[in-house]
Amino acid sequence: MARDTKVIGEAISRIDGLLKVTGGANYSTDFPVKNVAYGFIVKSSNAAASIKDIDTTAAEKSPGVIAVLTYKNAPKVAGSGNLSGGVILQEPKVDFYGQHVAVVVADTYEQARYAAELVKVNYEPLPAMVDFDAHKGEAVEPQRGRGSKRGDFDAAFVAAEHKVDQTYLTPVYHHQPLEPHSTIAVWEGSKLTLYNASQVVNGVQNAIAAVFGLKPADVHVVTPHVGGGFGSKGSAWPHVVLAAMAAKLVNRPVKLALTRQNMFNSVGLRQRNVQHVRLAASADGKLTAIGHDTTTHTAVTGEFIEQCGHLSSMMYDAPNASIGYRVLPMNVIIPTFTRAPGESTGSFATESAIDELAYELKMDPIEFRLKNFSMTDPSNGRPFSSRATAEALKKGAEMIGWTKRKMQPRSIRNGDFLIGYGVAIGSYPSRQVPSSTLVKLKRAGNDVTATIETAASDLGTGTYTIVAQTAAETLGLPMDKVEVKIGDSEFPPAAGSVGSIGAASFCNSVSETCIQAKNELQAKTGRTWVAPPTVAQLMEAANLNEYQTRVDARPSAEAQKYSSHAFNANFSEVWVNAYTGAVRVPRHVAVTGAGKIINAKTARSQIIGGCIWGIGMALTEASILDPRWGNFVTRTYNDYHIPANLDVGTIDVAFIPEDDRVVNRLGIKGVGEVGIVGVAASIANAAFNATGKRVRDLPLTPDKLL
């Protein structure tokens, strides 16, 4: 590969793909740890209770059982360590159905699982809050203020000529990545190694260190490959602590893997949201007021709230706005970050209401949106560093064939099917966060290889590949001369693969480190070059066969003066059976402005994944909580319906070119979250256009459209 060959932006296949398809990629429970024992969790069958006693006698006598860990013998911890779900087995108390109350450790997984059935727990039930719909009127102001106001919303709404005043409902959703959560814990004296599926390597390291009163350097987290997470692996959950506790108790490594059923009440969820949206506009289609009030639930042990009103606060240029939140503490596992937290659920409400108001005004919904956005963020007065909304809407309309759409619902029919078209726009914040990288160069004659080390993570989204592309182009090396090492807390600390910060943080750090390496080598040569030298020439001139350097990259202060977001436009073609109400999405178009695209192939895959999740959000997904007991009756893929191949039609993806050097030096915005934002609203709006029925309570099941 020549020095001037460009690889950033190319559609390059994942460099770790061969490992994955041949089974060579090690996930958290794949590591060959000697003398490993197996843990299996015992879960509470009460939503709120005091544990009067736990009888472990039969379990302890079961073949292969080494120990049963309960609140009676669990090691005491030093603190909570910012642990999601809190520290458990420290007291005889239950706060939600499915809370871990014991761990059976045995020589084999089968022995541990069987013996777990023999543990008998005697509960004293306590009053439990488990019915959100019956008690949402008791919701209170959040502990931390999250609302915002500008102008005089109440006066503007009352005076408006045209209004929408509706409530939109989204159910509980669960993450359910392909790889369930799992951990192997290994103690060597006071040092702990965790082979653990982690989106944020250093976050887990610091949390577990705090729980056990260790120095962070004494906790080694290893996670080279993560089989999906969508936010659920962004922090440490109690099962990680339980694996470490059990390993300490039995004095041997312990492997603890959650089952698919365990996942529904072990690692958080996206909570049910009730969103009251009020929009007001003048007769010419100019928005004058936006109100967005969210009522949701959290856990009795802590508070987590999705910012559903964020899009309403910044997407449209209305002089008057009121964004508010109320929350109900419940005896349910604490909610957590779920792909595009707040924006995905919030966009369903906001963009459905926008569509309703456009219909009220008899305006084309694209025209209405274009009329009401500006290049300044109305929530904070800062200019957007770039905004591709208009370009995305125009491009998407062309791709979907928007001119075929009729404003009047039920105007297009093909046999038994009513056909409709819908649109929605979305956004997600873009930012770079501190990340560090070490580059190691080795030379043998004219051949130079580079090793990149950083504690980044790869959820299967292509981190290995984009890091290699960035290093290869910056150093002027072929891709196969770059080795990428990530997913290890012993590497320089890095951002996590969360909140669309990964690519921007990792790649800018790698780029800066490689540039610094070349500059330092140049300084060591003391030469002036007629043409830019290769890394091999620099190392030869400096008489070096090995060289390494590290950079602790930080975002620029200039970026703080702007509002930076990825923006998108979603278009859906929906067919609804006029007799059964069955919904199909034969075609969906997603157009996104996300700054510099490092890898066109993996970025496209990310957007497609977001669209598929959005289709599930719109049509199939919902977790059902039994209001009598507080347990989820959806516990497997048989009950929790994620989209199958037949649910997903053609998804066309396009990117709007953006050269935004304000957001960060490389101009990367990130695509991990924005792909899902607006998808469900686009489908719901298309269903209205097809049938004339407005569904404000997801999912769009046939009974709601008949």
Among all residues, which ones are annotated catalytic?
673
**In 3D, which of 273, 415, 327 has the Cα closest to residue 142?**
327
Q: How far is CA 266 from CA 175, 185, 257, 542, in A?
A: 11, 18, 11, 55
Please, which residues have CB within 8 angstroms of residue 47's CB and are 6 or more apart in sequence?
Answer: 94, 96, 97, 128, 130, 331, 332, 629, 630, 631
Query: Where do runs of H (alpha helix) occur along 526-647?
Result: 535-541, 600-619
Taking each continuous run of H as one helix and of E as one strand, the counts in the chain are: 17, 24
Name residue, tokens 């043409």: 531
Distance CA 322, CA 149 (A): 5
The per-residue b/e assignment along 161-194, b for 16 or more CB within 10 angstroms, e otherwise, is eebbebebbbbbbbbbbebbbbbbbbbeeeebbb
Distance CA 440, CA 483 (A): 10
Q: How far is CA 590 from CA 538, 561, 566, 572, 654, in A?
A: 45, 29, 13, 9, 6
Distance CA 566, CA 391 (A): 13
Report yes or no: 642 and 581 within 8 Å, Cβ to Cβ. no
Distance CA 680, CA 683 (A): 5
Sheet order of strands, 417-429 included: 412-414, 417-429, 565-577, 583-593, 650-655
- Three-state SS annotation for 652-669: EEEECCCCCCCCCCCCEC
Q: Phi/psi of residue 528, each to 5°?
A: -110, 130
Distance CA 596, CA 124 (A): 58
**Collapsed DSSP state (helix, strand, coil) of residue 631:** coil
**In 3D, which of 331, 327, 352, 340 has the Cα closest to residue 274?**
327
Q: Phi/psi of residue 437, each to 5°?
A: -140, 140
Residue 404: burial class (beta carbons within 10 Å; 0-12, 13-18, 19+): exposed
**In 3D, which of 128, 54, 53, 120 has the Cα closest to residue 95?**
128
Nearest 10 degrees: CA dihedral of 6, 8, 10, 12? 110
The H-or-E segment that residue 351 falls in is helix 343-361
Strand (E) positions, 397-491? 412-414, 417-429, 435-444, 447-453, 482-485
Nearest 10 degrees: CA dihedral of 323, 329, 331, 337? 40
Tally of residues, the chain: 706
